[in-house]
Structure 1
């Protein structure tokens, strides 16, 4: 037993010496490796490349997926910010336009031509869905002094008249919805030679108001001449712009002439309007006449 034990110790010692020798041999400076070392290095390198290739592939794919997710989130966030920015731009533009309309309407109500009338500022709250060019609804009604047939205007000119007022709102019939039964007395101002006529409806094909000339001038009517209200119809105040002449055509009998008139007010974009109570002027005239009689 002791012999076998000594033999094992001897073999272990010899193996340890050989291992130390191999380590020392491998660590010394050499220009070339042994065949065994080359085989071992090549085997280890091949194993590392085989293992690292799928690991690197999985790592790259995972990283790309993460980048795509981040890019998608950033893109969605930028789109939301852009939509908010566009919304703010539109809102600011609408506020500017509304502010401009209110300012123009205020200047008109304070002008000399409107001081004899009671002016009621109103905002358009809806349009008639089936005839959106012909009717609008405003946010003022009987409680605010609105009555049927009151004139409705903007700073640019006539818009229409009140058709059906309720307590807190009113429906306005636009000039584009007028027919031969809704006439407006108008005129073309000329020094000592005014041209008088009647607005008798709207031609939907040409998109112009129809101005039937009653009293003609010695001079021909020219394009872009302004037609204003004469104040003789009992509804609209005088000197309010109606529109500009675009064309003059004779009737089929050649007895009278008709002018096609482009409305002064934009019937497509109406946000702020003024309702005019003409009765105030009548009351003021009566008071002045009574004072003169006294």
Structure 2
């Protein structure tokens, strides 16, 4: 009995090998049509491959896209950093150009201050109070800066030194609301000079007010206003601005001219202090007796 089963197993194995070889040989033959078992196996295998390959490709593409996205983010971050650096450098270049132009213009006006010793200074602070309109500059008594010295930019007169310390000074702008802030001025009207005082600032219009102009003076729009130089405190001929409007003063005894400043009071970085040279003794007495110019 055991021998029978052993022979039976051998026979089954041999038959299976023969069938397998036959199937292999049959599949390798030049048939134009597969048998249904072969077709079933191929279809099943293809379906399984399709079912497995699609999610596999999806996952692979997902991670590939994720990597590309990360690379793109890194590149964009680097480009943004470079653009920010270029923008910063461009801003610095423009500021340096602006500063250079302002300093050059300030140097160009030195020739008109022959009786004065110009001192270049830089604004290092500003009081936000519109009533006082004060600047802090980086020059003081150690540099020869004193109270009431005129302060100018390349575009004209902006104010005076209100007080001075060893290394810094406080400058009061013409646009200050302080009623004691005034300067003797002159309107150039052809060959004629019309005198008055810059005292007051119309904050709503953004214009300086030149008061005490004679009622019969022929003041016209567009005429240039300069410092008169009276009293010897300020140089004569410093540009203040241009007339844009004229109106009768209270009681009609004088006129008031509204002046557009030559300098931009909101954008001041570099200034020049006109340090007085030697003033004759009689002029010093006149300065003490006259009203404070500014």
TM-score by length of 1: 0.88
Q: How many residues align?
A: 282
In the alignment, the residues of structure 1 paired with residue 131 and residue 85 of structure 2 have an alpha-carbon distance, to the nearest angstrom, of 29
Per-residue Cα deviation, 1:186-228 (whole angstroms, up to 9, x for no partner): 112346531111111212122111111445666x211110111
Cα distance change, pair 185–256 in 1 and its aligned pair in 2 (3 A): same
User: TM-score of the superposition, structure 2-length normalised?
Assistant: 0.88
Alignment of 1:144-163 (within 5 A): 144-163=143-162
RMSD: 2.4
Residue of structure 1 aligned with 2:245, choices 244, 247, 252: 247
1:5 to partner: Cα distance = 5.1
Q: CA deviation at 1:17?
A: 2.6
Q: Which residue of 1 aligns with 2:116?
A: 117
Determine which of 227, 230, 235 is the counterpart of 2:228: 230
SS of residue in 1 equivalent to 2:109:
helix
Residues 91-149 of structure 1, C-alpha deviation per residue, up to 9 Å, x if partnerless?
1111111000000011111x1x2122111000111211334981111111111111111
| Distance (whole Å) between structure 2 residues aligned to residue 98 and residue 188 of structure 1 | 31
Q: Distance in 2 between matches of 1:225 and 1:43?
A: 101
Counterpart for residue 292 of structure 2: none
Is 1:164–2:174 an aligned residue pair? no
The offset of 1:284, in angstroms, is 11
Structure 1 unmatched runs, 5+: 287-294
What are the equivalent positions in structure 2 for 1:78-93 lying under 5 Å apart?
78-93=79-94
* 1:271 and 2:269 aligned: yes
Q: Summarize the Cα distance change of 1:245–1:3 in structure 2 as closer, same or farther, 3 Å threshold.
A: same
Per the alignment, in what secondary structure is the counterpart of residue 39 of structure 1?
Answer: helix
CA distance in 2, matches of 1:252, 1:178: 19
The 5-angstrom pairing of residues 202-241 of structure 1 reads: 202-215=201-214, 220-241=218-239
Structure 2 contact 215–253 (Cα < 8 Å) conserved:
no
Comparing 190-199 with 241-250, greater Cα deviation is found at 190-199
234-243 or 191-200: bigger deviation: 191-200
Tell me the secondary structure at the aligned position of residue 258 of structure 2. strand
Cα offset, 1:242, TM superposition: 0.8
- The question of whether the paired residues in 1 share the 8 Å contact of 2:131 and 2:178 is answered with no
Structure 2 residue runs without a partner (length 5+): 284-294
Distance 1:130 1:47 in 2: 82
